[in-house]
């Protein structure tokens, strides 16, 4: 089947949905999403969204905290723009129907604090802010007559001149995007979506690692598509590991214990119940995430333990149960009463700071192709994202991209290449009956990445990962070239592409900065 739209969106998290609501008055909008519409990192977000809402705080302080967390390599102009726009974008979310908690007076928003923040500035909805944002935006999108939301549609590749038979390399100056090919997961047919503008809002790639807080859909599809289309990607070496995921080994994704709990007074402890953060940073349990995750990793390696603890017992019972009802209920489910028991925790891959390089309007290096949310790299996070700045980045860039795309669609005239775009060719391909080839390779990949490209790296570990990945890459490309497409196979291929980019960029970064930490660069001198 062939479809033609003005605004094509891949992804139905905060970035895709908020963009859709902005562009909808200006043309035909289609959102493709590979699972159920609500499934994505957005709905799992706990802590909240950072913004300067009152005079007790200031833009300068939020800017400063963001720059410090980013370890000196944020784009200052981007940081300033994002943080100054934040209150306006938050007011829009509220207008769309999203509820944030009010304080006891009922007149002001209740603000939390998380690691790296010098002020209480995190708007939240109890400890399930993301679910509330996703609910509010989805309701608004579903009731908009110009927006079609199509579930179980897996975008495979961006359509460019390559599909018109032209040679496209990373040096081709004007790569253009005409839309995407997408697999209908119910019929197994590949459809052609032609669009005047396309937004990738495909989220993160946490499933490159064996332990991650991100949902199963986070497989870096948008990043991999842009890589294959020869677009520009950036900062892929900066994978953020969240210090405190619940230690419950069989569970995927790992359940998050929000940093807001440390903001409320919970303390990290070792297996003997002793505090240890004083050895690593004067900000103790509320130091930025990279420092806390490395400290936990080091303590676990020193003691041989497979987890440490977060002690929330010092927080009053009412505040604990009232403020963190989701975490309280989850822990009870596995036999832990967090008002009495310490919570077993370990770090988990959580957020990809790098991704598709975009400018301040959300434009990628490929014409007519925008990216927003976690799949993009704006320059806001630099070497390490400040907590609760990603939901914010997603709404700010969805807005900026929408404004740009609206103008582009208004001025668009020439759709001539569309009629030359061929349909997907599946001739001669057979159904791969051996699912084990895919599941086992995915596990291998995730272990390689966890063990060699994790919180602490070295030249040897990266080289080892690169060599192992090469074999996996060749085997999987061979399988892909002779198989009918399936979602697991496409995801595996995308995870491999993201792993490759992560390792390559980690090898090229010859200085420890932000989340990139190598034992071979400990003196922090630049090496040849
Ligand atoms: P997502 O919400 O992940 O949505 C991605 C969408 O793309 C999904 O709809 C998916 O189905 C679709 N998709 C992907 N690939 C394809 C494809 N090939 N074809 C079709 N559709 C596709 N950030 C904060 O700022 N504050 C927090 O408190 C916070 N807490 C978090 C807690 C957890 C447990 C996690 C995992 C993350 C948290 N984050 C938080 C990070 C934040 O939630 C994410 O960065 C943000 O929600 C990403 O939004 P998004 O719209 O970019 O992607
Ligand atoms: C958390 O609630 O700790 C996660 C916040 C974030 O990832 O920004």
Using the mean position of ligand 2's atoms as its centre, give its distance from the Cα of residue 169 in Å: 38
Domain at 2-237+353-420: CATH architecture: 3-Layer(bba) Sandwich (3.50)
Residues 6 or more apart whose CB falls under 8 angstroms from that of 16 comprise 9, 10, 31, 33, 199, 201, 372, 373, 398
Cα 517 to Cα 52: distance, rounded to the nearest angstrom: 31
Report, as an integer, the average pLDDT of 279-307.
93
Instruction: Please tell me the number of the ligand nearest to residue 116's CA.
Output: 2
Q: Supply the mean pLDDT for the chain.
A: 95
524: confidence class by pLDDT, cuts 50, 70, 90: low
Decide: 286 and 294 in contact? Cβ < 8 Å: no
Is the distance from the beta carbon of residue 388 to the nearest atom of ligand 2 less than 6 Å? yes
Using the mean position of ligand 2's atoms as its centre, give its distance from the Cα of residue 34 in Å: 24
- Location of each CATH 1.20.58.100 domain in the chain: 435-524
Q: Is residue 250 predicted with pLDDT exceeding 90?
A: no
Please name the residue whose Cα sits nearest to atom 33 of ligand 1: 45
Using the mean position of ligand 1's atoms as its centre, give its distance from the Cα of residue 13 in Å: 6
Could you tell me the two tokens for 423?
């349909």
Using the mean position of ligand 2's atoms as its centre, give its distance from the Cα of residue 72 in Å: 21
Residues with CB under 6 A from ligand 1: 10-16, 32-35, 39-42, 44-49, 129-130, 153-155, 201-204, 213-214, 217-218, 221, 256, 350-351, 373-374, 388-391, 394
Using the mean position of ligand 1's atoms as its centre, give its distance from the Cα of residue 218 in Å: 7
Q: Strands (DSSP E) along 315-388, which ranges?
A: 343-352, 355-357, 369-371, 376-377
508: confidence class by pLDDT, cuts 50, 70, 90: very high
Q: Is residue 501 predicted with pLDDT exceeding 80?
A: yes
Instruction: Please tell me the number of the ligand nearest to residue 260's CA.
Output: 2
Report, as an integer, the average pLDDT of 280-300.
93
Q: What is the helix (H) or strand (E) element at residue 31, kind and residue range?
A: strand 29-32
pLDDT digits (tens, 9 = 90+) for 227-244: 999 999 999 999 999 999
The closest-lying atom of ligand 1 relative to the alpha carbon of residue 14 is: 51
Using the mean position of ligand 1's atoms as its centre, give its distance from the Cα of residue 308 in Å: 27
Report, as an integer, the average pLDDT of 151-159.
98
- Location of each CATH 3.50.50.60 domain in the chain: 2-237+353-420
The closest-lying atom of ligand 1 relative to the alpha carbon of residue 212 is: 36
Catalytic residue IDs: 289
The closest-lying atom of ligand 2 relative to the alpha carbon of residue 259 is: 3
For CA atoms 289, 48, 82, 216, give the dihedral sign: positive
Could you tell me the two tokens for 311?
């002690």
Report, as an integer, the average pLDDT of 19-26.
98
Q: What is the helix (H) or strand (E) element at residue 466, kind and residue range?
A: helix 459-482
Report, as an integer, the average pLDDT of 158-179.
94
Cα 408 to Cα 401: distance, rounded to the nearest angstrom: 10
This prediction has a pTM of 0.96
Using the mean position of ligand 2's atoms as its centre, give its distance from the Cα of residue 431 in Å: 41
Report, as an integer, the average pLDDT of 417-443.
87
Pocket test for ligand 1, best of 17, 38, 42, 244 (most atoms within 8 A of CB): 42
pLDDT digits (tens, 9 = 90+) for 61-99: 999 999 999 999 999 999 999 999 999 999 999 999 999
Is the distance from the beta carbon of residue 47 to the nearest atom of ligand 2 less than 6 Å? yes
Work out the angle at residue 413's Cα, subtended by the Cα atoms of residues 408 and 415, and round it to the nearest 5 degrees.
Answer: 105
Model pLDDT, residue 526:
45
- Determine whether domain 435-524 maps to CATH 3.30.70.1560: no
Could you tell me the two tokens for 97?
């129907």
- Location of each CATH 3.90.700.10 domain in the chain: 250-348
Report, as an integer, the average pLDDT of 342-362.
98
The closest-lying atom of ligand 1 relative to the alpha carbon of residue 255 is: 34
Model pLDDT, residue 431:
72
Provide, rounded to the nearest whole percent, the portion of the chain with pLDDT above 70: 99
Q: Strands (DSSP E) along 293-391, which ranges?
A: 308-311, 343-352, 355-357, 369-371, 376-377
Pocket test for ligand 1, best of 101, 130, 355 (most atoms within 8 A of CB): 130
Is the distance from the beta carbon of residue 50 to the nearest atom of ligand 2 less than 6 Å? no
CATH for 250-348 is 3.90.700.10
**Strands 29-32, 111-112: parallel, antiparallel or unpaired by DSSP?**
unpaired
Instruction: Please tell me the number of the ligand nearest to residue 40's CA.
Output: 1
Instruction: Please tell me the number of the ligand nearest to residue 264's CA.
Output: 2
């Amino acid at each position: 089947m062939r479809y033609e739209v003005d605004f094509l969106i891949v992804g139905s998290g905060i970035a895709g949905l908020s963009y859709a609501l902005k562009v909808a008055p200006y043309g035909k909008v289609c959102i493709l999403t590979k699972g159920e519409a609500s499934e994505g990192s957005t709905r799992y977000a706990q802590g909240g969204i950072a913004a300067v809402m009152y005079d007790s705080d200031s833009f300068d302080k939020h800017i400063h905290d963001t720059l410090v967390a980013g370890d000196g390599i944020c784009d200052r102009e981007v940081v300033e723009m994002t943080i100054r726009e934040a209150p306006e974008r938050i007011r829009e979310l509220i207008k769309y129907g999203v509820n944030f908690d009010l304080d006891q007076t009922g007149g002001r928003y209740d603000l939390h604090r998380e690691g790296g923040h010098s002020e209480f500035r995190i708007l939240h909805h109890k400890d399930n802010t993301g679910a509330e944002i996703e609910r509010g935006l989805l309701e608004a999108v579903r009731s908009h007559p110009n927006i079609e939301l199509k579930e179980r549609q897996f975008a495979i590749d961006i359509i460019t001149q390559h599909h018109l038979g032209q040679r496209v390399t990373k040096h081709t100056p004007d790569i253009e995007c005409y839309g995407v090919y997408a697999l209908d997961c119910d019929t197994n047919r590949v459809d052609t979506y032609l669009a005047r503008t396309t937004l990738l809002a495909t989220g993160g790639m946490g499933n490159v690692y064996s332990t991650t807080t991100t949902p199963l859909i986070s497989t870096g599809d948008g990043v991999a598509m842009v890589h294959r289309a020869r677009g520009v990607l950036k900062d892929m070496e900066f994978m953020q590991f969240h210090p405190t995921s619940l230690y419950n080994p069989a569970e995927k994704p790992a359940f998050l214990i929000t940093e807001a709990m440390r903001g409320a007074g919970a303390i990290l402890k070792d297996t003997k119940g002793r505090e240890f953060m004083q050895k690593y940073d004067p900000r103790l349990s509320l130091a930025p995430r990279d420092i806390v995750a490395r400290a936990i990793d080091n303590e676990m390696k020193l003691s041989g333990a497979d987890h440490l603890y977060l002690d929330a017992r010092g927080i009053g019972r009412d505040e604990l149960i009232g403020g963190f009802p989701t975490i309280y209920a989850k822990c009870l489910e596995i036999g832990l009463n967090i008002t009495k028991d310490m919570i077993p925790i370990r770090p988990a891959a959580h957020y990809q700071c790098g991704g598709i390089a975009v400018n301040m309007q959300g434009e990628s290096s490929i014409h007519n192709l925008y990216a927003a949310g976690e799949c993009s790299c704006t320059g806001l996070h630099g070497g390490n994202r400040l907590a609760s700045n990603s939901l914010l980045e997603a709404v700010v860039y969805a807005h900026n991209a929408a404004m740009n795309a609206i103008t582009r669609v208004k001025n668009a005239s020439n759709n001539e290449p569309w009629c030359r775009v061929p349909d997907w060719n599946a001739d001669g391909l057979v159904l791969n009956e051996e699912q084990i080839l895919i599941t086992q390779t995915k596990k291998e990949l995730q272990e390689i990445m966890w063990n060699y490209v994790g919180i602490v790296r070295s030249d040897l570990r990266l080289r080892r990962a690169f060599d192992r990945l090469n074999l996996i890459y060749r085997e999987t490309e061979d399988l892909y070239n002779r198989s009918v497409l399936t979602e697991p196979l496409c995801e595996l291929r995308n995870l491999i592409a993201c792993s490759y980019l992560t390792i390559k960029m980690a090898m090229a970064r010859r200085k420890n900065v932000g989340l990139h930490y190598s034992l071979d660069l400990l003196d922090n001198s630049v090496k040849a």
